[in-house]
Amino acid sequence: MNYNKNILPYASATTTSIIFGLSFLFSKKALDIASPFSLLSFRFLTAFTIMSLLIIFKVITVNYKNKSIKNLFFLALMQPVIYFIFETYGIKNSSSSFAGIMIALVPIIVTVLASYFLKEKFSITQLAFIILSVIGVSFIAFMDTKGSGNTSSLGVILLIITVMSAAIFNILSRKLSSSFTPIEITYFMMGLGALFFNIVSISEHLILGTLENYFLPLKSKDFIISIFYLGIISSVIAFLLLNFTLSKIEASKSTVFSNLSTIVSIAAGVIVLNEGFKYYHIVGSIMILVGVWGTSKFGNSNKKIIPKEIELL
């Protein structure tokens, strides 16, 4: 029994990373058919609808009574709202491979944020590995934007903001896991995402005078398949698994698994989308993954969650 309790969070983290790694591929395909906000509106409306039906039929339960919703709102603002706005436009202005590589920075940012909020100091060795990962990403970004790849400078900036919001989300989810269940956190996230992105999408159509085209992307089989994957598998299932993982193990340990997303996204981009894969992708990826491994390996083994007296809102 103890073995199962120990292995489940890591199995959950691994599965989540594989799902997220493939999401870049489906997002890229869907963006060829619909605008970014149209994609996001259908993605989170699908996720929220599915979870609502599960609650109505009492397959899952939620209870927000006497709980701090304001902190949960801030978490959902980081992800999905801010994260997916910048990730979607970041993917649109970069290659699927590079987007996946950038996500490998999340464990590094989480470690730095944890050191601030948890008052933990990282060692010189750990700092060296952090710098190694940053150099790896910088190297790939420089070479890709130089003209050899499909990534623009804007894409790099957007993905950096994406990584920052993902890191903050991991810290907050770990903190709020003592007050909310993984299902409650995920359902609130999907609800806010559905509300925000549909308001933006409808407003966008109203401004352009194309409201009648709101459902137009659904005529595409590829778009429906992408929405099924992104809305159900990559949103409901993956975020339930992620929030479960963060309720069981430290954020810094959980986010190390995101390097699997890097590998999966690169492979999907190269194999399915026929994206170029140059020598500098290999060199940079090795530097990033070694840096992530070292940051986790030589980090302080402090298992504290963010102190409750530290309020973010």
pLDDT tens digits, 83-103: 988 887 887 787 766 776 776
pLDDT at residue 305 is higher than 60: no
Asked if 105 contacts 270 with a C-beta cutoff of 8 angstroms, the reply is no
pLDDT band at 44 (very low <50, low <70, confident <90, very high): very high
Residue extents of the structural domains in the chain: 2-297
Residue type, 300: N
Over residues 217-235, mean pLDDT: 93
Terminal-to-terminal C-alpha distance of the chain: 39
- What is the pLDDT, as a whole number, of residue 229? 95
pLDDT band at 252 (very low <50, low <70, confident <90, very high): low
pLDDT at residue 142 is higher than 80: no
Per-residue pLDDT tens over the stretch 161-186: 998 998 898 888 888 888 899 999 99
pLDDT at residue 151 is higher than 80: no
Q: What does the radius of gyration of the chain's CA atoms come to, in whole angstroms?
A: 19
What's the CA gap between 31 and 37, in Å, rounded? 10
- What is the pLDDT, as a whole number, of residue 302? 45
What's the CA gap between 189 and 173, in Å, rounded? 11
Give me the torsion for CA of 252, 254, 260, 265, rounded to 10°.
-90
Q: How many helices (H) and strands (E) does the chain have?
A: 14, 0
Query: Which of 42, 40, 37 minimizes the C-alpha distance to 215?
Result: 42
Percent of the chain predicted with pLDDT > 70: 83
- What is the pLDDT, as a whole number, of residue 112? 77
Q: Residue 226 corresponds to which tokens in the numbers above?
A: 């992408």
What's the CA gap between 268 and 291, in Å, rounded? 23
Q: What is the pTM of this model?
A: 0.77
- What is the pLDDT, as a whole number, of residue 98? 72
State the Cα angle at 167 between 163 and 171, rounded to 5°.
170
- Tell which wins on pLDDT, 121 or 272: 272
Q: Residue 135 corresponds to which tokens in the numbers above?
A: 């150099």
pLDDT band at 13 (very low <50, low <70, confident <90, very high): confident
pLDDT band at 219 (very low <50, low <70, confident <90, very high): very high
Asked if 169 contacts 79 with a C-beta cutoff of 8 angstroms, the reply is yes
- What is the pLDDT, as a whole number, of residue 195? 97
Query: Which of 46, 38, 39 minimizes the C-alpha distance to 233?
Result: 46
pLDDT at residue 1 is higher than 70: no
Asked if 233 contacts 27 with a C-beta cutoff of 8 angstroms, the reply is no
pLDDT at residue 224 is higher than 50: yes
What's the CA gap between 66 and 63, in Å, rounded? 9
Sign of CA dihedral 241, 72, 100, 301: negative
Asked if 177 contacts 246 with a C-beta cutoff of 8 angstroms, the reply is yes
